[in-house]
Amino acid sequence: MKIYNSLTKRKEDFIPLEGNKVKMYACGITVSGEAHIGHGYQALIYDIMRKYLKKAGYEVTYARNYTDVDDKIIAKSHETGIPADEYAKKMIENINTVMKRFRVDDPDLWLKATENIQNIIQFISTLIEKGHAYPTQNGDVYFDVATFPGYGKLSNRNVEDALDGVRVDNDDEKKNAYDFALWKSAKAGEICWDSPWGKGRPGWHIECSAMNREAFGEQIDIHGGGRDLIFPHHENEIAQTEALTGKQFVKYWTHNGLIKVNGQKMSKSLGNSLLLAELLENYSDEAIKFALLQTNYRNDINITNDLFPDSEKHLYEFYSTLSIVDKVMDKLRGTELTLSNEDAIRAAEIAEKVDKEFNACMDDDFNTALALSNLFGYFKEMKKLLSAGKSGDLFSALSYAVQIRKTYSLLGIFEKSAKEYIAWYEEKNLSAIPQEVQAVAEERWQARLARDWAKSDELREKLAQLGYLVKDSKTGYELIKN
C-alpha cells in the first residue's frame, strides 16, 4: 500500500510505527455553523481510509475532533445570545444528526477542546519550561517560532513567507509578528477557564496537538485534514508538538482537496455554501458519495449543476441491472440449477477479480476514482451475461452482483435494495424511463447483436405497447416516449 505524504511530496510505502497498529487522526469541524458539503466530504474520505486500512488487516484507532471553542463560536454566541458552550453543543448535535443521514460512521474516539483544557494547559506549561513559548503581561501565551528551526517544512515556507501567508495579529507583546497564540486571555463576557496566566481559552492550533498526545502519545501514523489546513494549522501543530517531544510528530500527512461550486471557491462570503442537510433533501446519500468519490481525494472537486443528477442516473442504471439479477434469481429459486465445475470456477474468479481490482485501486493512495470507473465495465459484462441466458452465465452475473455489493459497500454505495432505489428515482424523476422498459430495450439490443431479428422485432413491438419508440445507431439505441 502506498500513501501520498504531504510532508515529503511523494507516495510512500505505508509502514506503521508500531507493527500492525495504526494511529490515525483527522481534524474535524469548528462548530460555528451547520455542516456543509466540504465537512461531509472530509468526514467521508477519512472514514473510507479507516475502513480500507481495516480491510487490509491493520488494527486502526481513528480519532476526530470538534473545535467547540474559538473566535467564530464566541462571535455566534454574541450574535444569537446563546452562551458559547450551549451554542457549540447544539451545533454538534445538529452535525452528528446530518452525518448519520449521510451515513458516515463515528470515529473510534471523539475529542473536544473543552474536554481537554487541563491537557492543553499542561502542554503549554511544558513548552514555556522548555523555552519554546512565553506568557505576556496581558495573560496571553505565544509560541516562539524562532526557537523551532524546522518551521515551514510541511508547507515549504520560510518564516518570512509566513507573514504573507496568513493574517498576523501584531500584538505589541509578541516577540515576533509570526509567533502564534497558544492561550488567549479572556475578554469581558467570553467563555473562559482558569490558568497559570489568568482566565482565558486555548488558541486553535494547540487543541489538536494536546488532544493527540492525550489519545495516542507522542507520535501518530496518519494525520489528515483539508488542504487549506496545511498552513498555518498543521504547520503550527508540527512546531509545538515536535518542540515539546523532540520527535517526529506524524509519519504520514494526508490532505483532501477543496470544494468548488461552478468553478468558484465555496465560501459564505460568495453565498455559494452547500449545506449537507439541504443536499440530502434533494439527493440520495449514495449519489452524493458517488459524485464526490469520482475525483481523487487529493484534487479539488468542482460541483456543477449536473454533478449530483448525473451520479443519481448512473446509480439508477446500475441498480436497474442489479434488479434484473434479483428477478432472474427469484425465477430460478426452487428450480434445479445445473452448474458445471467450469461455471463454478468462473463465478469464483469473477468475485476474486472484482475485489482484487478494488484493492489494487485503494492500495494506490486510496484511488476511489479508478475503483468507481471499473464499475462501468463490470455492469456492461453483467448485461451480456444476463442476455446470454444460460445457467452458468446467470450464475456469473449473480457473482458480479453479490461481490460488487460486498466490496463497494466500503465506499457507502450499493447498500440499498434495487427495488427501493429504482422506485425512489422514478418517483423523483417523472421523465425517467421505467426500469421495466429499459430491461426490454436492453434485451432487444442484445438480440440485435446476436442477429436474432425475429426476437428483436418482437421486443420492438413490446416497447411500442409500453409507449416507447426505439431509434438504433451503430453504437447503441435511444428510447423515445411515444
Q: Which residue has the higher pLDDT, 451 or 294?
A: 294
Degrees, nearest 5: CA angle 104-107-109: 160
In this predicted structure, what is the pLDDT of residue 163? 57
- Mean pLDDT for the stretch of residues 372-387: 95
Asked if the model's pLDDT at residue 365 lies above 80, the reply is yes
Query: Which grid cell sits at 287?
Result: 449519489
For residue 433, name the pLDDT band (cuts at 50, 70, 90). confident
149 CB burial (10 A radius; 0-12, 13-18, 19+): exposed
Residue 328 is predicted with a pLDDT of: 84
* pLDDT at res. 62: 98
pLDDT digits (tens, 9 = 90+) for 176-195: 989 999 999 999 989 999 99
Give residue-wise pLDDT tens across range 70-99.
999 999 999 999 999 999 999 999 999 999
Q: What is the model's pLDDT at position 426? A: 87
Q: Judge whether residue 418 has pLDDT over 90.
A: yes
Q: For residue 323, what pLDDT is reported?
A: 94
The predicted structure's pLDDT at residue 399: 96
Cβ–Cβ < 8 Å for 301, 259 = yes
So what's the pLDDT on residue 115?
A: 97
pLDDT band, very low/low/confident/very high, at 320 (cuts 50, 70, 90): very high
Are 77 and 83 in contact, with CB atoms under 8 Å apart? Answer: yes
Query: How many CA atoms within 13 Å lie on the side-chain side of 471?
Result: 5
Is 65:111 a contact under the CB 8 Å cutoff?
yes
Please, which residues have CB within 8 angstroms of residue 423's CB and are 6 or more apart in sequence?
Answer: none
The DSSP bridge pattern shows strands 264-265 and 133-135 to be: unpaired
Residue 380, pLDDT above cutoff 80: yes
How large is the angle between the packed helices 235-245 and 204-216, nearest 10 degrees? Answer: 50
Q: What is the pTM of this model?
A: 0.88
Contact 253, 223 (CB under 8 A): yes
Dihedrals phi, psi of 13, to nearest 5 degrees: -60, 135
How confident is the model at residue 479, as a pLDDT?
Answer: 83
Report in angstroms the alpha-carbon separations of 195 from 75, 88, 117, 122, 235: 23, 22, 9, 10, 25
Q: Is residue 413 exposed (0-12), middle (13-18) or buried (19+ Cβ within 10 Å)?
A: buried
d(CA 438, CA 442): 6
Model confidence at 165, in pLDDT bands (50, 70, 90)? low
Residue 337's pLDDT band, with cuts at 50, 70 and 90, is low
pLDDT for the residue numbered 322: 96
Query: To the nearest whole number, what is the mean pLDDT of the chain?
Result: 93
Model confidence at 285: pLDDT above 90: yes
Q: Is the pLDDT of residue 169 over 70?
A: no
pLDDT above 70 (res 166) = no
Question: pLDDT > 70: what percent of the chain?
Answer: 96
Residue 121 in this model has a pLDDT that exceeds 70: yes
- Note the pLDDT tens digit of each residue in 133-157: 999 999 999 999 999 999 999 999 8
Q: Residue 329: its pLDDT value, please?
A: 82
> Is residue 443 a contact partner of residue 463, using CB atoms and an 8 Å limit?
no
pLDDT category of residue 334 using cuts at 50, 70 and 90: low
Q: What is the 3-state secondary structure (H, E, C) of the chain?
A: CEEEECCCCEEEECCCCECCEEEEEEEEEECCCCCEHHHHHHHHHHHHHHHHHHHCCCEEEEEEEEECCCHHHHHHHHHHCCCHHHHHHHHHHHHHHHHHHCCCCCCCEEEEHHHCHHHHHHHHHHHHHCCCEEECCCCCEEECHHHCCCCCCCCCCCHHHHHHHCCCCCCCCCCCCCCEEEEEECCCCCCCECCCCCCEEECHHHHHHHHHHHHHCCCEEEEEEEHHHHHHHHHHHHHHHHHHHCCCCEEEEEEECCEEECCEECCCCCCCCCEHHHHHHHCCHHHHHHHHHCCCCCCCEEECCCHHHHHHHHHHHHHHHHHHHHHHHHHHCCCCCCCCHHHHHHHHHHHHHHHHHHHHHHHECCCHHHHHHHHHHHHHHHHHHHHHCCHHHHHHHHHHHHHHHHHHHHHCCCCCCHHHHHHHHHHHCCCCCCHHHHHHHHHHHHHHHCCCHHHHHHHHHHHHHCCEEEEECCCCEEEEEC
Band the pLDDT of 127: cuts 50, 70, 90.
very high
